Amino acid sequence: MPAVPAAGQGDSHAASTAGPLSASDNKAEAPQRPPVSPHGGIGRVAALRTAASAIISAWEAPDREGLDDAVAALRAVLAAKPGRPSRDPSVARQPRSGTKQELVLALLRRDDGATIAQVVEATSWQQHTVRGFLAGLKRKGITVEVLERIRQVGPNKQGAKGSYSIYRITAAAPVEAG
């Protein structure tokens, strides 16, 4: 009994592909308009796809007409460096406005300060995130002082739920949150 070759053993890849193309499959070969980036023009990914499909089309052409132009277009897309324009390092960077960090700093600058619970309510952060943010302010040179510690005492003179501290940024602190 003759052995049937497994996939990839002796048979060509063409034999394992699906049958002939239907009329609906021909639509994929029709030239398509490249997707437009919301930032204007076509985006880098769309340009790469367009260049790659141009190379494939030129490669499959009988005389490979236009292959050099397609490869040159692909190289041009790959050589273009995407990204933001460089900024002047001598100019101080302005912090973004409307951020949660800015909101926390505004709460901490109030005369009566803010508790962790107030910051959690204002930002939807977890308590450990607020504590980490307060610790990070110290690394940035912003001093956070404890105005008052309210300790609720429960049974056996243990700290009970409802205990909290009020924090405030000292007046001499820099304003950048960055």
Residue-wise pLDDT for 47-61, tens only, equals 888 888 888 888 888
Beta-bridged to residue 178, according to DSSP, are none
CATH class, 100-169 region: mainly alpha
Domain boundaries, the chain: 32-83, 100-169
pLDDT: is 68 or 93 the higher one? 68
| Torsion, Cα of 54, 55, 61, 63 (10° steps) | 120
pLDDT of res. 83: 66
Question: What number is the average pLDDT over the span 152-160?
Answer: 67
The answer to whether 119 and 104 have CB atoms below 8 angstroms apart is: yes
Higher pLDDT, 33 or 122: 122
For every residue of 156-176, which 3-state class applies, written as one string?
A: HHCECCCCEEEEEECCCCCCC
Give the pLDDT band of residue 22 (cuts 50, 70, 90).
very low
What pLDDT does 128 receive?
Answer: 95
Query: 95-124 pLDDT, tens per residue?
Result: 788 899 999 999 999 999 999 999 999 999
Distance CA 170, CA 30 (A): 67
Q: 108 exposed, middle or buried (CB, 10 Å; 0-12, 13-18, 19+)?
A: buried
Q: For residue 47, give Cα distances in angstroms to 15, 33, 38, 79, 150.
A: 33, 11, 14, 12, 61
Q: Is 164 exposed, middle or buried (0-12, 13-18, 19+ CB in 10 A)?
A: middle
Tell me the two tokens of residue 67.
């292959």
In angstroms, the Cα distances linking 95 to 98, 101, 110, 132, 160 are 10, 10, 20, 20, 39
